[in-house]
Chains A and B, each alone.
Chain A
Amino acid sequence: MSRLASILSALILLAYFVAPANASPEKFAEVLERDFKLIQRSSVKTVTPVLEAIQASGFENAQEFLSNWQEKSLWFRKEDNRFFYVTTEDKKTYTLIDVVTGEKIGEAGKRDIKQIKPNSGVRKLLGSALVQFRLVSPDLAVRRASLESISRDAKPEHLPALRNAVETETDLELKTGFIQLERLLTMQFGETPEERIEAINSFAGDLNLEVRANLNPLLASKLEVASQLPEDANIARIIIPGETGIGSDASAISPSVLSWFSEVRPELDLDEAYLMLVKSGAAPAIVTKQERDNTIVKNIKDGMVGRYEIASLNTEERRDAAYSDLVLTGVAEPSPSRSDIEAAVSEHVFFARFDEPDSNVTDAVRNTLGQINASVRWNTFLDLALDAISLASIYFLAAIGLAITFGVMRVINMAHGEFIMMGAYSGYVVQQFITNYTLSIIVAIPVAFAVTFAAGVALERLVIRHLYDRPLETLLATFGVSIALQQLAKNIFGTQARPLTAPDWLDGALVINDVVSISWIRIAIFGLSILFFVGLWWTLNKTRLGLETRAVVQNPRMAASMGINPDRINMLTFGLGSGIAGIAGVAIGLYAKVTSELGSDYIVQSFMTVVIGGVGNIWGTLAGAGLIGIFQKLIESFNPSNTLAAQTYMIIIIIIFIQFRPRGIIALKGRAAEA
């Protein structure tokens, strides 16, 4: 019994708390009745108290009411001044829906009711009032959406609602978002400068893109010209025409600091500066060439302009002369001379005035942006380093197989790129049979190795073995194999790119912050190349095969006399090198499109890696790949939009590098080097 009593009392308690909410429709209806006139003929001046009253009523469907009002779907009945939403099918009779209860009340003719059409100012106010509702909506998804919509299109009137939402928000993640947005809004729209400066300072070192996007507009400035610098203005920079450029914090950069790498152009040249003077009415306009020619054409009489024949007006000097004749006769306006222009420009001061009047605010923004930019620079450098390492590991993967065959056998295998391509296509074919991407990649790696190992052994036995004493011809013969294989792949798989899909867990990127991120595939490739490096090092240095291989590298004849079969070693080495190319193909295919030209895209870089690194040594290949990767990214970073130029300069640097170390970074010494 006692339990029943306690439940009952709980229910009563609950009813007590819910009661005011139940009461709110009446309160809401009261507001509507009282403020009918203000709603019907709303204006920006009068609507605010109404909105406050509606909000204060706590009515749960007030949001619906406001949005209908805003979208002009609110009507009222003329006879009793009651508000309705309406639906109609034939535009003659309208079904009326009560705004408080949401029930159908009846029908009315077109004449009995009238639509309410708020003006755009009122609609704007309604919009921000709606935001307020959404920010505290019980639905988490609605709150999230409203956060996004505010951050897309922030307005000063959102600020109070946002501050309110920060207080009440319970979801931690959303609360962080609200706080950040509140700071951003305070920074732009805060009432006192102190409040704004505090918000600005709170962002020091923040790498968030949105912060930078919101800070920069605060430094917006307009170019102005005056005879003297105004004293009360918040000046961003004083411009010397033809000299100073514009810095990242809206200050002027003097020519001595003009960076050598990133081109900083003068903000205003002399002509542009003069044009500003003309616009401000402080100087007479320049007669452009077009205007000059038009005037001349207008004054043609009988094939003559003044004392000049038309046919003789085929140089700028003649036209100028003809024009100055016209000026003397008074039919044309004189144009200021060069020295006039220079004098006029030097008599005035050109400057940029901040849109923001308070210099304390702009100083704080400059300070904060400076700290952010310093942080961004470091992180960009880190990002660049990650990119370079990732590129280096791709080159390493592509080149290591080549380094083995080239290093051990002194054989240039031009078909190496096609082995990479075969590996990638093997992966593609495996994926046609195994639809689970994770499993298919795990299967594809040994399959690709097996396919290209077999191809490599076949190539060695059928072609290369017969050409050991003619290295240049090996190059050509393997090139023949390469074009045949490439065309064969085209015939089998077609010319369009085939997808080699990475498993889900390799999708996306490891995002460290808004500047530094690296895709998981690249991390996987990095891991793979480390694995290869360690594996090969172990094979070459700790196994019987490796020992024999190194012996053959150093002196094939001596090795043969020690009972090593160089033919067998050569065949296995070639197979191994080709097999590794196949695995590299799977890895490369994961992030590049698989086409028949996949291999030839990498072949020159692979050769370069081997040549730079020095043959016959996996440390050399590692060093070569590292050097090429780092250099290429470094060059790209000077001009990120132009990777073609980066590759061009890269190759030129390599050609020059070879001057100093013709045998690569890590060169074989002694007799082996002469082979």
Chain B
Amino acid sequence: MSEVTLTQPAPKQEFGGPLTRFLMRNPSTLVFLCLLAGFTIAITILSEGFGLGLISTSLVKTLGKTLCFCLVALAMDLLWGYCGILSLGHFAFFGLGGYMIGMWLMYARTELIIIKAGEAAALPMTPGEIHEAIGTQIFGVVGGSEFPLVWAFAHSFWAQLALVILVPGILALVFGWLAFRSRVTGVYLSILTQAMTLALALYLFQNDSGLRGNNGLSGLQNLPGLEETPQAVVSVWFLWASAFALGTSYLVIKLIVESKFGNIIRAIRDDESRVRFLGYNVEGYKLFVFVLTAIMAGIAGALYYPQAGIINPAEIAPIASIYLAVWVAIGGRGRLYGSVIGAAFVSLLSSMFTGGQIPNISLGFYTIQWVDWWLVLLGLTFVATTLYAPNGLGGLFDLLTSKKEPDDG
């Protein structure tokens, strides 16, 4: 499925553009993209906003959010499964992306409300007054009304959209550069990324961090200027956007791992020193992958939080990033569809178990309540997966196609 093309003689008769040819050579990607498109269309048809109304808006949102999880898991897989860097901090980038878009959503929506309220006044409001009123509205909960510096671009949609990419990207660049140049590898790097995540979460927990402390940003599901549009419709839009982002990222990552670049990062995963001795700039490759995946995580977060409606620092806590690693490990590292399956499977199952949708098991003397026991089950499953099924759920496909090992597994 993802055989390295260098070892195969290329087909003699090429047809279509390079992308078509690439897809023909990688049928798994084609299958994935078709399935994703089919899934999106099916949900659209069944949704309340555009079709038959057979599935609820909240389920559409859950599915849209799951697609965002899949996207960040995909990025994690490129980083960990292919490049061997176990980052325990990519959910921080995810959260940062969410914060960046959340700032605009909150600012723009509050601005509309303020302007509307100001119409009743005797004099039209000055820009300064509007700005001040928005500040009071947003920062009242943390006892302030001044706009911190980080909100400098919050009024501009395009600027915040750029920050969705820039903030995680630059943070990853600085952190990655510092870490890789001092040759921090393996578990050390994992711990260091975890520390970075903790530092960020603790910083955001402060009231004077400028992002409303542990109140976080809220009301993000209401798109400014689209108050009239029902959530049923908005949720489907976000489903489309998430599916599009996931599909595009899948294709991009697939292109990367199938290229020469992909071979080098896999070589780095397997033996960093040898690649360095061969004359490659290992740090540069690692840094590129680290930053790229951080940006993808940021985009995923920017799509996720408008669907979730609220973001607070607890979302960034180190544990979230570890769960990300758990999804990828259960789904199967080193194969892109594996990470997507893992993220979708575990996060959906998790919400079903904790949401009370799985019936409790009565043992006579004791009733297993899944709300309480789900994490125990997940933890032990995870240990078992690591020990006995390193290929994860994705490994099941090997049984079906009776292949021994994926070459990049």
Q: Does B128 contact A (CB under 8 A)?
A: yes
Pick the contact of A463: B179, B188, B387 (CB < 8 A).
Answer: B387
Interface string of A639-675 (1 = CB under 8 A from B): 0001011011001101110111010000000000000
A414 to B191, CA, bound (A): 10
Q: Tell me the smallest distance from the CB of B166 to a CB of chain A, in Å.
A: 20
Interface string of A472-512 (1 = CB under 8 A from B): 11011101111111111011000000000000000000000
A647 to B196, CA, bound (A): 11
For B196, give the chain A residue with the smallest CB separation: A655
A16 to B127, CA, bound (A): 94
With A412-B187, A648-B202 as known contacts, state yes or no: A297 contacts B123, CB within 8 Å.
yes
Contact B379 A487 (CB under 8 A): yes
Contact B329 A487 (CB under 8 A): no
A47 to B238, CA, bound (A): 86
Task: Return chain B residues, CB-CB under 8 Å to A479.
Answer: 322, 325-326, 382
Pick the contact of B203: A319, A412, A608, A648 (CB < 8 A).
Answer: A648
Q: Does B192 contact A (CB under 8 A)?
A: yes
Q: Does B190 contact A (CB under 8 A)?
A: yes
Q: Does B252 contact A (CB under 8 A)?
A: no
Task: Return chain A residues, CB-CB under 8 Å to B196.
Answer: 651, 655
Q: Tell me the smallest distance from the CB of B184 to a CB of chain A, in Å.
A: 6
Task: Return chain A residues, CB-CB under 8 Å to B124.
Answer: 310-311, 313-314
Q: Tell me the smallest distance from the CB of A202 to a CB of chain B, in Å.
A: 43
A647 to B374, CA, bound (A): 32
Q: Does B98 contact A (CB under 8 A)?
A: no
A491 to B383, CA, bound (A): 20
A608 to B186, CA, bound (A): 15
Q: Does B1 contact A (CB under 8 A)?
A: no
Contact B387 A466 (CB under 8 A): yes
A479 to B375, CA, bound (A): 12
Pick the contact of B126: A319, A467, A655 (CB < 8 A).
Answer: A319
- What total of A-B pairs shows CB separation below 8 Å? 153
Contact B383 A315 (CB under 8 A): no
Contact A481 B123 (CB under 8 A): no
Contact B184 A662 (CB under 8 A): yes
Task: Return chain A residues, CB-CB under 8 Å to B390.
Answer: 473
Contact B178 A477 (CB under 8 A): no
Q: Does B380 contact A (CB under 8 A)?
A: yes
Q: Tell me the smallest distance from the CB of B99 to a CB of chain A, in Å.
A: 16
Contact B123 A651 (CB under 8 A): no
With A297-B122, A316-B126, A491-B373 as known contacts, state yes or no: A471 contacts B186, CB within 8 Å.
yes
Q: Tell me the smallest distance from the CB of B112 to a CB of chain A, in Å.
A: 16
Task: Return chain B residues, CB-CB under 8 Å to A471.
Answer: 186-187
Q: Tell me the smallest distance from the CB of A37 to a CB of chain B, in Å.
A: 61
Q: Tell me the smallest distance from the CB of B164 to a CB of chain A, in Å.
A: 23
With A472-B190, A473-B386, A651-B198 as known contacts, state yes or no: A483 contacts B126, CB within 8 Å.
no
Task: Return chain A residues, CB-CB under 8 Å to B178.
Answer: 655-656, 659
Task: Return chain A residues, CB-CB under 8 Å to B182.
Answer: 658-660, 662
Q: Does B395 contact A (CB under 8 A)?
A: no
Q: Does B86 contact A (CB under 8 A)?
A: yes
Contact B383 A477 (CB under 8 A): yes
Dominant SS at the B interface?
A: helix
Pick the contact of A647: B122, B192, B202, B326 (CB < 8 A).
Answer: B202
Most chain B beta-carbon neighbours within 10 Å: one of A485, A659, A662: A662
Q: Does A607 contact B (CB under 8 A)?
A: yes
Task: Return chain B residues, CB-CB under 8 Å to A648.
Answer: 199-200, 202-203, 206
Contact A604 B190 (CB under 8 A): no
Contact B379 A611 (CB under 8 A): no
Pick the contact of A475: B122, B187, B202, B379 (CB < 8 A).
Answer: B187
Contact A487 B372 (CB under 8 A): yes
Q: Tell me the smallest distance from the CB of A398 to a CB of chain B, in Å.
A: 15
Most chain A beta-carbon neighbours within 10 Å: one of B124, B181, B379: B379
Task: Return chain B residues, CB-CB under 8 Å to A482.
Answer: 379
Contact A487 B375 (CB under 8 A): yes
Contact B375 A315 (CB under 8 A): no
Contact B383 A481 (CB under 8 A): yes
Pick the contact of A484: B175, B190, B376 (CB < 8 A).
Answer: B376
Q: Tell me the smallest distance from the CB of B189 to a CB of chain A, in Å.
A: 10
Task: Return chain B residues, CB-CB under 8 Å to A314.
Answer: 123-127
Interface string of B115-148 (1 = CB under 8 A from A): 0000000111111100000000000000000000
A611 to B86, CA, bound (A): 17
A296 to B121, CA, bound (A): 13
Contact B383 A472 (CB under 8 A): no
A652 to B196, CA, bound (A): 7
A611 to B379, CA, bound (A): 26
Interface string of B18-41 (1 = CB under 8 A from A): 000000000000000000000000
Q: Which A399-415 residues sit within 8 Å CB-CB of chain B?
A: 410, 412, 414
Q: Does B194 contact A (CB under 8 A)?
A: yes
Task: Return chain A residues, CB-CB under 8 Å to B200.
Answer: 648
Task: Return chain A residues, CB-CB under 8 Å to B319.
Answer: 600
With A297-B122, A611-B188 as known contacts, state yes or no: A604 contacts B318, CB within 8 Å.
yes
Q: Does B378 contact A (CB under 8 A)?
A: yes
For B198, give the chain A residue with the smallest CB separation: A604
Task: Return chain A residues, CB-CB under 8 Å to B190.
Answer: 412, 472, 475
A94 to B221, CA, bound (A): 76
Task: Return chain B residues, CB-CB under 8 Å to A412.
Answer: 187, 190-191
Contact A477 B203 (CB under 8 A): no
4 residue pairs, one from A and one from B, having the closest CB atoms: A484-B379, A480-B382, A487-B375, A651-B199
User: What are 29 A-B contacts defined by CB distance under 8 Å?
Assistant: A300-B122, A310-B124, A313-B123, A313-B124, A314-B127, A315-B126, A315-B127, A466-B387, A467-B387, A471-B186, A473-B329, A476-B86, A476-B382, A477-B383, A477-B386, A479-B325, A482-B379, A483-B375, A484-B375, A487-B375, A604-B194, A604-B195, A642-B208, A644-B203, A644-B205, A645-B203, A651-B202, A655-B196, A662-B182
B interface, CB within 8 angstroms of A:
84, 86, 122-128, 175, 178-179, 181-184, 186-188, 190-192, 194-196, 198-200, 202-203, 205-206, 208, 318-319, 322, 325-326, 329, 372-376, 378-383, 386-387, 390
Interface contacts beyond A315-B126, A659-B182: sample of 18 additional A-B pairs, CB < 8 Å, sorted by A: A296-B123, A310-B122, A313-B124, A316-B126, A319-B126, A412-B187, A414-B322, A473-B329, A473-B390, A476-B386, A479-B325, A480-B386, A487-B379, A611-B191, A645-B206, A647-B199, A655-B175, A655-B199
